[in-house]
Every structure is written in structure tokens, then in C-alpha cells.
A = this chain, B = another copy of it.
């Protein structure tokens, strides 16, 4: 791991715990074990840290979504994969997931615009999957807007719930979440 990667790792944890604005370069430096001035030999400024952390995880989710969309899975299976995607990265990179959910307001232009573009298209893609599922009669005729919002809220804020659950198995969690979220969407028998 390079020094820059270490700095980003420590910054991510602090941004998550205290928020971007409340985290100082001195805070980050202390975690890394150097003086604040030395950070600037590895990064150009504080905003760069936020931008790189955010765009990296945003691109991971975007790629995950593209893989799901390009597959020949059914809408139900696509939704299951999407839930799996969120659980995997919530467990693997909880800090990054927390930051992308809560700290994006502190992004400056032009990165803010780039992020919002990815975010919008991500939401539209979820909407499309559910719409397809309804059209193919795999899902009940639910309220599209509210269902998308509800699923997205649950997936986005999973990190805040997950980190206080200690002995939970990610694989088991995935099964429980799939069942819980899809039973509200799934066609009744």
C-alpha cells in the first residue's frame, strides 16, 4: 500500500465518523502518523481526498449495475444481485459506503456534477429493473416511485444498521434482505 492509499484509508474513517467538514488535515495526519504539512507530499488538497474516495466507490457501484444489466437474468434475479452488491460493499468498504451516502454534499464542482450524474443513472436503472419485473408479471403492480425509493433507502443506509450488528454473517444477511425486500415487491401467491 502506498502512502497515499494509507492517507485515503485513514481519511475515509474520519470522514465517516466526524464528517468531512469536521475532519481537519491535522486529524488525518495524526492517524497516519505524520505532520499535516507532510500530507501534501502525497495529495494536492483535502477536497481531492473526498473526490477520489467518492468517485471510486461510485464507479464500483456503477460497474456492478452495468454487469447486472448486461446479464440475461430475470428482473427478480437482477434485483437479488443488486442487493448482494450493496451488502458486499457495505461489509467490505463500510467507510466508503457511508461517505457516498452522507458526505456527497461537500463535493465541489466539477466532481459534484459527475457524481450526481452517476447517481441519477443508477436510480433510473433500478427503476427500469422493477418496471421490467412488473411488465413480465414477476412483480406485483406496486407503486414504482415509492418502491424504488424504499429499496434504495434501505440499501443505502444499510451501513448504519450493519456496523452495530456484531455477529452477522454477510451471506445469511443477504438471504434475509432478499427475502424481506422482495416479499414486498413479489407477486402474491
Residues of A within 8 A of B (CB): 18-19, 21-22, 102, 105-106, 140, 142-143, 145-147, 149-150, 153-154, 156-158, 161, 165, 176-177, 179-181, 183-185, 188-189
Contact = CB atoms under 8 A, between A and B. Distances in A.
B105 A176 contact: no
Contacts of A154: 149-150, 153-154
B153 A19 contact: no
Contact of A19 (B105, B140, B179): B105
B146 A180 contact: yes
* Chain A interface helix/strand/loop/mixed: helix
25 contacts: A19-B19, A19-B106, A21-B21, A21-B22, A22-B106, A102-B102, A143-B179, A143-B180, A146-B180, A147-B180, A149-B154, A149-B158, A149-B161, A150-B180, A153-B153, A153-B154, A153-B157, A153-B158, A153-B161, A154-B154, A156-B157, A157-B157, A180-B184, A181-B184, A183-B184
A19 B22 CA distance: 10
Contacts of A188: 188-189
A161 B123 CA distance: 12
Nearest to A105: B19
Nearest to A183: B184
Contacts of A179: 143
A31 to B, nearest CB: 18
A20 to B, nearest CB: 8
A150 B106 CA distance: 26
Contacts of A19: 19, 21, 105-106
A142 B185 CA distance: 14
Contacts of A183: 140, 142, 184
A153 B161 CA distance: 10
